[in-house]
Amino acid sequence: MRETALVYLDRSGGLQKFVHDCKRYNDSKQSHAVYRFVISINPSDIAELDATLGNCILHSPMQAARIFQSVCFIAIKTLSLIEQLQTEAQVSVLLKPTHLPPLPSYVLSLSAFPFNYTSQRFYMSEGIVIAMGTVTKYTQGARFLCTEETCPFSEGFRYIRVHLPGATESATVRNDFVCSLCSSPLQEDMKFRVLGDKQIVEMIDAKVLNTLKGYSNDKSHFRIQAFTVFLR
């Protein structure tokens, strides 16, 4: 699947954009804890190349992101695109699908029962924004070091934590992480913290428009409830 991912990046122009992003990081001459890449993908095109990878992207996007992460890391090291990069954990890949299959199972509807949204995969959702919060910062990635000076992991980029979709802030940055080698506490290297923007949006299902217009849906009781969306 890694070979297919590389072929797709080459054919879709994503590889050229990736090389350009690497050049921007390399020209900065600044060592980062996390190098973040946003890769646009067309699930249908990938499925034609490799059905297994296409299915992985649609239903296990985090696993698919790790495949692209491995491909990107190998490309960076092979072509010497970023001199400062040391470990694969420093490469953060965000897969951005251009579209999803026009099937009901890919539509997130909070007005339909039962709620069988247990898988962490891509969904489409349409609604009306009724409130927006201010733009605030969140931690995209952080570097931790072992506090035991004699430990090999007291330097380098062995412990990199990257924010994953659906995770809370404490999953990325906490003060109770320990070294897997010597069990000593880990301490964050604050100068390598990578910040991003986030915004909280309150949305409501688009079907509320029919209710506001006075249309009857032959139901004696109904309730309209907003849901929260985190934009990162």
The tokens describing 174, both together, are: 């906490």
5 plus 73 within the same structural domain: yes
Contacts of 95 (CB under 8 A, 6+ apart): 39, 41, 57, 61, 64, 65, 68
Q: What angle do CA 133, 136, 139 make, to 5 degrees?
A: 135
Q: What is the pTM of this model?
A: 0.85
145 plus 85 within the same structural domain: no
73 plus 18 within the same structural domain: yes
1 plus 94 within the same structural domain: yes
Q: What confidence score (pLDDT) does residue 127 get?
A: 87
Whether 129 is covered by a domain: the verdict is no
The tokens describing 150, both together, are: 């004699």
The tokens describing 29, both together, are: 């001459």
Count of domains for the chain = 2
Q: What confidence score (pLDDT) does residue 55 get?
A: 93
Q: What confidence score (pLDDT) does residue 49 get?
A: 92
Domain end call among 37, 69, 99: 99
87 plus 7 within the same structural domain: yes
Looking at residue 97, its amino acid is: P
User: In this structure, what CATH number is given to the domain that contains residue 12?
Assistant: 3.30.1640
89 plus 166 within the same structural domain: no
42 plus 91 within the same structural domain: yes
CA atoms within 13 A on the CB side of 231: 11
> What is the domain extent for residue 70?
1-99
23 plus 90 within the same structural domain: yes
pLDDT in tens, 104-162: 888 887 766 556 666 788 888 888 999 999 999 999 999 999 999 999 999 989 999 99
Q: How far is CA 84 from CA 34, 127, 214, in A?
A: 11, 43, 61
pLDDT in tens, 83-102: 889 999 999 999 999 999 88
Find the helix packing angle between 14-28 and 2-12, rounded to 10°. 90
Q: Fill in the DSSP letter of residue 184.
A: P
Q: Is the pLDDT of residue 38 over 90?
A: yes
Separation of alpha carbons 177 and 45, rounded Å: 41
91 plus 178 within the same structural domain: no
Whether 108 is covered by a domain: the verdict is no
Q: What percent of the chain has pLDDT over 70?
A: 91
Whether 128 is covered by a domain: the verdict is no
Domain end call among 99, 125, 156: 99
Whether 218 is covered by a domain: the verdict is no
Long-range Cβ contact pairs of 48-52 (< 8 A, separation 24 or more): 49/4, 49/7, 49/8, 50/1, 50/4, 52/1
Whether 211 is covered by a domain: the verdict is no
Whether 215 is covered by a domain: the verdict is no
Looking at residue 64, its amino acid is: A
Whether 204 is covered by a domain: the verdict is no
Separation of alpha carbons 171 and 118, rounded Å: 20
Q: What confidence score (pLDDT) does residue 8 get?
A: 93
69 plus 150 within the same structural domain: no
Strand pairing partners for 128?
204
Mean residue pLDDT of the chain comes to 88
Q: What confidence score (pLDDT) does residue 230 get?
A: 92
* DSSP track, 67-106: HHHHHHHHHHHHHT--TT---GGGEEEEEEES---SSGGG
76 plus 18 within the same structural domain: yes
4 plus 79 within the same structural domain: yes
Domain end call among 50, 78, 99: 99
